[in-house]
Amino acid sequence: MSTVTLITGGARSGKSAYGEDLALRMAGPAVLYVATARATDPEMEQRIRAHRARRPAEWATEECAEAFSSLIGSDCFCEAGAILLDCIGFALNNAFYHRLSDWDHPDASEMQAAEEALSGELRDLIDLCRGSGKDLILITNEVGDSLVPDTAVSRRYRDALGRINCLAASLADRVVLMTCGLPLVLKEPK
């Protein structure tokens, strides 16, 4: 039986390291790491390098910013015992990037379409993993506990990610909040 785990927390809270350790315990070397971040500047390139260096070399990696259904039938998906998606926040950022025609004056319908598309992709990935007996670990950012962003697009991003996180938490079997490198289990499998 597969388990869906959502791991959330703030910046540098230990989400990814905890998720990677969980995946290793669940499936050993048979993990498919789905990376959603894009290297857009030197700082992001360094973050991506650090994540790659920390992962076991045996793990398969798919760089998949969105359209998670493209994993269906791939050798790396079929061979994996666990799927680790890191992270939902970057996936939403990518969805906005590809769908918004004006970042300074974001169109509400474009943002809603991006949010709905990602929500659908996550539902499909969860269904796919459950249907194939694979454990799924989803990493996301908790952005609702910080300052109110000063731009409209940032506020709408925060709100959209909050709604997507609520959806993911409702569909997950286990939800873990990371803070100061420590896990706080919010929801356990029944």
In Å, how far are 1, 33, 38, 56, 128 from 131, measured between CA atoms? 9, 19, 29, 26, 5
Which one of 47, 51, 158, 187 is the catalytic residue? 51
Residue 161 to residue 141: CA distance in whole angstroms: 8
- Is residue 105 annotated as a catalytic residue, yes or no? no
Residues 149 and 168: their CA atoms lie apart, in Å, by 23
Neighbours of 128 (CB within 10 A): 18
Q: Classify 9 in phi/psi space as left (phi over 0), alpha (psi -120 to 50) or beta.
A: left
Active-site positions?
51
